[in-house]
């Protein structure tokens, strides 16, 4: 910046747990650009509109390709979190059902992974919006980027696994409460839950959904042998 008067400008930085700000004074340069700076000044030639449009399209295509590469590159991490979430929900359901069963089979787990990565016609998925949030300059102000992504994927995997078996978000708390109220109706459990969590009440229908939640019917298929040596799934 070349000015005829001294200029004071503010600066700030935020990220990776660091937050700083300050000011910088730029001295006046009334006689033009100093010799030691002149050889660092960059100039660009005139670019015709069609050529500029082509360059911008190339940048757009490169950005889209890079986004897909990053999206698919996260698949192993998404799968790991989905597996962990399925195991956690499995043991959680065993607390109230007394039976340890898989909640999703391999195909069911892959559907959850695909939904998180790619979404569907009416749903953007989980990873795409996560990448968009990471572009916010303030996204990593108080947290390490990898930790931020890992925590988000962990939380999202938990929610998506529960959706896959129609388990409401408050399902575990509802089931634990129901254990202390044997013989209670869904309305009574909903009322008791509302007393414990007045800022997040639930309906009797939601209580019923939580109490009926269980493993996907296809998650625990077993092979039955026939007299002809063939096998069928049951």
Q: What is the pLDDT of residue 226?
A: 47
Residues 6+ apart with CB under 8 A from 55: 47
Confidence (pTM):
0.69
Extents of the domains making up the chain: 68-165, 168-214
| Residue entry with tokens 């309305």 | 187
Q: How far apart are CA 44 and CA 23, in angstroms?
A: 31
56-76 pLDDT, tens digit per residue, is 999 999 999 999 999 989 999
**Nearest one of 102, 92, 89 to 176, comparing CA atoms:** 92
User: Residue 76, class by beta-carbon neighbours within 10 Å (0-12 exposed, 13-18 middle, 19+ buried)?
Assistant: exposed
pLDDT-based confidence at 114, cuts 50/70/90? Answer: very high
pLDDT tens digits, 147-188: 889 999 999 999 999 999 888 888 889 998 998 999 999 999
Distance CA 24, CA 27 (A): 10
Number of residues that make up the chain:
234
Residue-wise pLDDT tens digits, 10-47: 877 776 666 777 887 767 765 655 555 545 555 667 78
Rounded to an integer, what distance in angstroms lies between the CA atom of residue 188 and that of residue 181? 9
- Is the four-CA dihedral 60, 66, 72, 75 of positive or negative sign? negative
Q: How confident is the model at residue 233 (pLDDT cuts 50, 70, 90)?
A: very low
């Amino acid at each position: 910046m070349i000015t005829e008067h001294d200029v004071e400008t503010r600066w700030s930085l935020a990220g990776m747990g660091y937050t700083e700000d300050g000011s910088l004074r730029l001295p006046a340069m009334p006689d033009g650009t100093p010799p030691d700076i002149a050889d660092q000044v960059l100039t660009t030639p005139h670019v015709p509109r069609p050529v500029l449009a082509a360059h911008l399209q190339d940048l757009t295509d490169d950005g889209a390709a890079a986004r897909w590469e990053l999206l698919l590159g996260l698949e192993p991490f998404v799968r790991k979190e989905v597996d962990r979430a399925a195991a956690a929900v499995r043991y959680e359901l065993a607390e109230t059902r007394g039976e340890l069963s898989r909640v999703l089979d391999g195909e069911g787990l892959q559907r959850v992974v695909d939904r998180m990565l790619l979404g569907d016609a009416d749903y953007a998925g989980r990873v795409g919006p996560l990448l968009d949030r990471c572009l916010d300059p303030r996204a990593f102000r108080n947290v390490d980027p990898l930790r931020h992504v890992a925590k988000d994927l962990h939380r999202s995997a938990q929610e998506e696994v529960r959706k896959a078996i129609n388990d409401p978000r408050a399902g575990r708390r509802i089931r634990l409460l129901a254990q202390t109220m044997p013989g209670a109706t869904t309305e009574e459990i909903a009322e008791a839950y509302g007393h414990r969590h007045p800022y997040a009440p639930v309906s009797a229908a939601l209580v019923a959904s939580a109490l009926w939640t269980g493993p996907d019917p296809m998650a625990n298929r077993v092979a039955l042998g026939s007299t002809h040596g063939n096998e069928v799934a049951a």
